[in-house]
């Protein structure tokens, strides 16, 4: 079947391209930020100590994050040690926030440049809010420090769809794994 080449064919193709790029950009926004000190000798790092955050808010969640970090690093071949004997100190900084995303659909009527056609356009006359206007999220930053020098740093965030502690712990475990995924294996 041969598709007719009309002005609307080009417009539809252009819309599909813009929507595709928008979806890709939206997915990329949730990727963690990871920095690795290229000068660090990770082969010489065998032991670690996870210290409690300075912004202590919820002891149970902090213990859970400590356990998750310990589990991931042990799976990479490292061992726990006391603060004095550890090769590196691991610090983490959790924070919770609200994102006022302002999701809404704007509707309006207009005419096209191709003649007297009328249609529905986005971004027009009035705005209709869609659902709740805020999203709760959990930020987490993990820093690995050797002799006062950062050797690995990762930060990211998750959206908290549920407010119960079990769901939050499960999401935090996933986030810790994602943040430490790039940490070198022994």
Torsion sign, CA atoms 41, 44, 46, 47: negative
Assigned domain for 89 exists: yes
d(CA 155, CA 127): 34
Count of domains observed in the chain: 1
d(CA 43, CA 33): 23
For the domain that residue 98 is a member of, what is the CATH number? 3.30.160.670
In three-state secondary structure terms, 79 is strand
Domain with 40 in it:
32-107+134-186
User: Could you tell me the pTM of the whole model?
Assistant: 0.67
Assigned domain for 177 exists: yes
Assigned domain for 125 exists: no
Assigned domain for 11 exists: no
Assigned domain for 113 exists: no
Assigned domain for 81 exists: yes
The token duo for 64 is 């859970």
Phi, psi values for residue 23, rounded to 5°: -65, -40
Q: What is the pLDDT along the chain (186 residues), one digit of tens a residue?
A: 455 555 554 545 444 444 444 433 344 446 789 999 999 999 999 999 999 887 677 888 899 999 999 999 999 999 999 999 999 999 999 888 776 655 544 444 444 444 444 444 444 444 444 455 566 778 899 999 999 999 999 999 988 887 778 888 899 999 999 999 999 998
Assigned domain for 52 exists: yes
Assigned domain for 14 exists: no
């Amino acid at each position: 079947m041969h598709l007719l080449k009309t002005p609307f064919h080009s417009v539809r193709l252009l819309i599909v391209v813009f929507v595709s790029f928008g979806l890709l950009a939206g997915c990329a926004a949730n990727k963690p930020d990871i920095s690795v000190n290229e000068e660090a000798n990770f082969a010489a790092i065998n032991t670690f100590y996870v210290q409690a955050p300075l912004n202590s808010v919820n002891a149970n969640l902090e213990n859970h994050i400590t356990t998750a970090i310990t589990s991931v690093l042990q799976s990479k071949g490292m061992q726990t040690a006391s603060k004095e004997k550890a090769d590196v100190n691991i610090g983490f900084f959790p924070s919770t926030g609200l994102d006022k995303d302002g999701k809404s659909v704007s509707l309006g009527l207009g005419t096209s440049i191709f003649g007297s056609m009328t249609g529905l356009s986005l971004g027009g006359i009035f705005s209709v809010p869609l659902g709740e206007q805020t999203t709760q999220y959990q930020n987490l930053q993990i820093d690995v420090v050797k002799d006062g020098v950062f050797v690995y740093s990762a930060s990211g965030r998750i959206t908290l769809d549920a407010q119960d502690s079990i769901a939050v712990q499960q999401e935090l475990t996933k986030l810790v794994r994602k943040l430490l995924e790039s940490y070198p294996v022994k």
